[in-house]
């Protein structure tokens, strides 16, 4: 029987303009209690251009601070699930987060980006009618299981910077 896995608290403040939502942290991230801890996960490399800072060399807490300074928030759509290993396809008995409730507390929020298809499917259901208030962005997954190279994923991730400027 698979163990029940639980997500982390959101990384947000009142100035978040862009919220990036994943599905559920993988085994390595859960073990280390850090978002995107697996060294082969491309998240930190992919979000760096939008954040305007090279995040991978920074200590974890400094990465989170840099995201917030760039007005980027981070969370997952799945609060908990039963799952062997780290693959989204193996998740069962999914309990979602209150994504709509969180977004209602973010007065500057302009866009919600979903890191991969599973996050998009579950997140849109959780947002319901609230999704119409935001720009919704489907991103190619940063997971090493999504075998498209980082160079092919980068343009979609780099485009996130459009929602971080004052003009938007």
Q: What is the pLDDT of residues 67-117, one digit of tens each?
A: 999 999 999 999 888 877 667 666 678 788 999 999 999 999 999 999 988
Give bridge partners of residue 18 from the DSSP assignment: 72, 111
Cβ pair 7, 24 in contact under 8 A: yes
Catalytic positions are: 41
Instruction: With H, G, I as helix, E, B as strand and everything else as coil, classify residue 55.
Output: coil
Q: What pLDDT was estimated at residue 159?
A: 94
Task: Give the model's confidence band at 26: pLDDT under 50 very low, under 70 low, under 90 confident, else very high.
Answer: confident
Query: Which residue in the block uniquely carries the two structure tokens 């400094």?
Result: 62
What pLDDT does residue 86 have?
64
What's residue 90's pLDDT? Answer: 67
Which string of DSSP letters, residue by residue, matches 57-72? TS-HHHHHHHHHHTTE
- Longest Cα pair distance anywhere in the chain, in angstroms? 51
Interval 134-167: pLDDT, tens = 999 999 999 876 667 788 999 999 999 999 976 5
CA-CA distance, 67 to 112, in Å (whole number)? 14
Q: Which helix (H) or strand (E) holds 90?
A: none
Q: Structure pTM? A: 0.93
Buried b (16+ CB within 10 A) or exposed e, 33-46: ebbbbbeebbbbbb
For 113, counting Cβ atoms within 10 Å of its Cβ (0-12 exposed, 13-18 middle, 19+ buried), the class is buried
């Amino acid at each position: 029987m698979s163990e029940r896995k639980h997500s982390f608290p959101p990384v947000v403040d009142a100035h978040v303009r862009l919220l990036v939502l994943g599905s559920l942290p993988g085994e390595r991230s859960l073990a280390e209690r850090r978002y995107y801890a697996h060294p082969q996960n491309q998240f930190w490399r992919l979000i760096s251009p939008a954040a305007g800072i090279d995040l991978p060399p920074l200590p974890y807490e400094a990465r989170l601070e840099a995201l917030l300074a760039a007005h980027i928030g981070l969370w997952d759509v799945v609060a908990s699930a039963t799952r062997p290993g780290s693959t989204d396809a193996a998740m069962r008995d999914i309990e979602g987060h209150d994504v709509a409730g969180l977004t209602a507390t973010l007065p500057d929020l302009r866009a919600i980006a979903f890191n991969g298809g599973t996050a998009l499917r579950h997140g849109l259901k959780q947002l319901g009618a609230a999704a119409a208030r935001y720009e919704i962005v489907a991103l190619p997954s940063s997971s090493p299981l999504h075998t498209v190279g980082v160079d092919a994923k980068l343009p979609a991730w780099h485009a996130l910077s459009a929602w971080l400027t004052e003009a938007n």
